[in-house]
Amino acid sequence: MNEKFWKLVEFLIENNDFYSEILRKVYLESGNYSEIPFLTRWDIYEFGLSGTKSLVSKNLKIGYIFSTGGTTGKPKYIAYTFDEFELVSFYLSKCYDSIIDSDVVANLFMAGNMWASFISVNKALEKLGCTILPISGTTSIELIKDYLEYFRPNCVVGLPTQIIQVVSEKTDFLNKVYYAGENFLENQIDFLRNIGCKLIKSGGYASVDADIIAYQCDMLDLNQHHIFTEHQFVEIVDIENEIVLDEKGKVGEVVVTNLDRYLCPIIRYKTGDLAMWIDPKCSCDKPAIQLMGRFDDWIRLASYDFYYQDFAKALYPFQISLKINRSKNLITILIKNDEECKKMSKVEIIEKLKLVNWQLKEGIEENLLKVEVKYVQQLPMKNKKINVIYE
């Protein structure tokens, strides 16, 4: 571990109740970084601003407090000093490296509700000297379309689901698209290219709690990113046994340590994102990862690894959930009752699946994975859509 990290440790030993003892032991005894326990989102609930506050350092002035949502409906908050937040927008501006001062940029990230994304992106755009339209994805679709038509920005930044709802043949003035938070599907990318978007690029890989982690250079593919090594220390950890994976091509959970966050420290934080180290085809001096989806979407069945996203991709645009029966190695695809989809035979669906993931292909062909299709009136819902159900 580098000097920057140990400087953070020295501060936390003196100023952070949660980390004081944990880090003192590691610092004074072994000096072994990997003895520091993982930080989970539950720890942030319990010991952060929504809980005991022992994770919040003393002797620092809180600048911003942001809500980082969460899946249980219970609010989770994270705080930054102004200097820390300034640094986030600095690294974010590096992600938007093709935006120049003559660009007119529509910011469609979600504003309000104590969310960080809109504000941090806006600050990053300011650094690039472009003209900014601070529209926000919380504005009605019709109004967003009106703003776009009137001001004719050449660049849009936002979430794919927001962007795809407001672009059309009419928005042929757009030539740059930066997105974050989720991925575009391949046919959405084709659509954007067809209407004239030459540059479609990730606006960086970030976690809501850990902030910006990685950026995409021009040579990398859509899910590939270089780590901001001066800002974050990244590990990829095996999902089952939590052993750190250094080999390329092995998928595990992304675990990050933010080297600049003193107020709400993020040390060995389990992001819930899956990725693997890759050999990038560029000559940048930063290590690169390929993102493989969310931890919640990962499925291992009969020793085959595949993802909910594989099925979503193969069956796009139909809405689906998956039911997994481990004892029978059976995947049941639940499809929201749709006449168009019913025109597709099971054989066709399976052929599409075999194209998106070679492990699915092998498992199905070896008859070790079984797939069945069911049409349902309603997909399983709770607070949000449940993608994968185990039975």
How far apart are CB 290 and Zn ion at their closest, in Å? 13
Buried b (16+ CB within 10 A) or exposed e, 351-360: ebbbebbebb
Q: Which is nearer to Zn ion, 217 or 324 (CB)?
A: 217
Under rule CB under 5 A, residue 221 binds Zn ion: no
Q: Which is nearer to Zn ion, 85 or 215 (CB)?
A: 215
Alpha carbon distance 333, 361 (integer Å)? 16
Asked whether the beta carbons of 338 and 352 are under 8 A apart, the reply is: no
How far apart are CB 284 and Zn ion at their closest, in Å? 3
Q: Which is nearer to Zn ion, 65 or 282 (CB)?
A: 282
Alpha carbon distance 374, 130 (integer Å)? 50
Residue position matching structure tokens 């089952």:
240
Residue position matching structure tokens 């029978």:
328
Q: Which is nearer to Zn ion, 169 or 285 (CB)?
A: 285
Q: Which is nearer to Zn ion, 217 or 389 (CB)?
A: 217
Alpha carbon distance 194, 210 (integer Å)? 35
Q: Which is nearer to Zn ion, 114 or 282 (CB)?
A: 282
Q: Which is nearer to Zn ion, 284 or 355 (CB)?
A: 284
| Residues in Cβ contact with 173 at an 8 Å cutoff, skipping those fewer than 6 apart | 152, 153, 154
Asked whether the beta carbons of 80 and 71 are under 8 A apart, the reply is: no
Chain centroid offset of residue 384 CA: 17
How far apart are CB 214 and Zn ion at their closest, in Å? 11
The one among 1, 22, 104, 217 contacting Zn ion by CB under 5 A: 217
Under rule CB under 5 A, residue 281 binds Zn ion: no
Piece of 156-164, 212-220, 325-333, 361-369 that binds Zn ion (CB under 5 A)? 212-220
Asked whether the beta carbons of 265 and 131 are under 8 A apart, the reply is: no
How far apart are CB 385 and Zn ion at their closest, in Å? 35
String of contacts with Zn ion for each residue 158-197, x by CB under 5 A? ----------------------------------------
Piece of 155-163, 236-244, 284-292, 372-380 that binds Zn ion (CB under 5 A)? 284-292
Piece of 137-145, 181-189, 217-225, 294-302 that binds Zn ion (CB under 5 A)? 217-225
The CA dihedral of 354, 360, 365, 370, to the nearest 10 degrees, is -110
How far apart are CB 280 and Zn ion at their closest, in Å? 5
C-alpha separations of 6 from 13, 57, 267 in Å: 10, 16, 12
Piece of 49-57, 181-189, 219-227, 348-356 that binds Zn ion (CB under 5 A)? 219-227
CA-derived radius of gyration, the chain? 22
How far apart are CB 44 and Zn ion at their closest, in Å? 32
Alpha carbon distance 163, 152 (integer Å)? 15
Q: Which is nearer to Zn ion, 246 or 285 (CB)?
A: 285
Under rule CB under 5 A, residue 143 binds Zn ion: no
Total residue length of the chain: 391
Q: For Zn ion, how many residues bind (rule: CB under 5 A)?
A: 4
C-alpha separations of 89 from 70, 85, 199 in Å: 23, 7, 21
Alpha carbon distance 353, 346 (integer Å)? 11
Piece of 229-237, 238-246, 279-287, 362-370 that binds Zn ion (CB under 5 A)? 279-287
Number of helices (H) and strands (E) in the chain: give both, helices first: 12, 20
The one among 100, 284, 355, 368 contacting Zn ion by CB under 5 A: 284
Opening angle at CA 165, ends 163 and 168, nearest 5? 90
Q: Which is nearer to Zn ion, 283 or 383 (CB)?
A: 283
Under rule CB under 5 A, residue 282 binds Zn ion: yes
How far apart are CB 232 and Zn ion at their closest, in Å? 16
Per DSSP, the residues of 80-117 read E-HHHHHHHHHHHHHHTTT--TT-EEEE-SPPSTT-SH
How far apart are CB 155 and Zn ion at their closest, in Å? 21
> Residue 117 phi/psi, 5° resolution?
-60, -45
Q: Which is nearer to Zn ion, 282 or 355 (CB)?
A: 282
How far apart are CB 220 and Zn ion at their closest, in Å? 6
How far apart are CB 229 and Zn ion at their closest, in Å? 13
Which positions touch Zn ion (CB under 5 A)? 217, 219, 282, 284
